[in-house]
Amino acid sequence: MGQSVDVSEVSPSKVDKFGCRSDWLDKDLAYFAANVSVFRKATCETAIKQIATPGRDRGFVVGVAMLPGHSRRIFHEHSSTTHFFKRDSIYIRNLADPYKADLIGPFDFILLEFTVEALARIAEDADLGRVTSLATRVGSSDRILANLVRALAPAIKKPAQATNLFMDQLTTAIGAHIAQRYGGTRSTLSMRPKGLSRSHERLAKELLLENLDGNIAIMDVARACNLSRGYFIQSFRENTGMTPYQWLLKERVARARMLLLTSDEPLSHVAISCGFADQSHFTRVFTSAVGITPGAVRRNL
Which 8-state DSSP code applies to residue 13? T
Do residues 202 and 285 share a domain? Answer: no
- For residue 10, the model assigns a pLDDT of 45
Q: What pLDDT does residue 6 have?
A: 53
String of DSSP letters for 94-163: ETTS-EEEEEES-EEEEEEEE-HHHHHHHHHHTT---------EEEEE-HHHHHHHHTTHHHHH-GGG--
Domain identity same for 130 and 106? yes
Residues 6 or more apart whose CB falls under 8 angstroms from that of 29 comprise: 4, 5, 6, 7, 39, 40, 41, 156, 157
Task: Let me know whether 134 and 214 are in one domain.
Answer: no
Q: ∠142-148-152 over CA atoms, to 5°?
A: 135
Task: Provide the 3-class DSSP secondary structure of residue 81.
Answer: strand
CA atoms within 13 A on the CB side of 105: 14
pLDDT tens for the 301 residues of the chain, in order: 455 555 444 444 688 989 998 889 999 999 988 778 999 999 998 999 999 999 988 899 999 999 999 999 999 988 999 999 999 999 999 999 999 999 999 999 999 999 998 998 888 877 777 788 899 999 999 999 999 999 999 888 887 777 888 888 899 899 999 998 998 654 444 455 678 988 899 999 999 999 888 888 888 898 898 888 878 888 998 999 998 989 999 999 999 999 999 998 999 999 999 988 889 989 999 999 899 999 998 888 7
Asked if residue 260 is part of any domain, the answer here is yes
Number of domains in the chain: 3
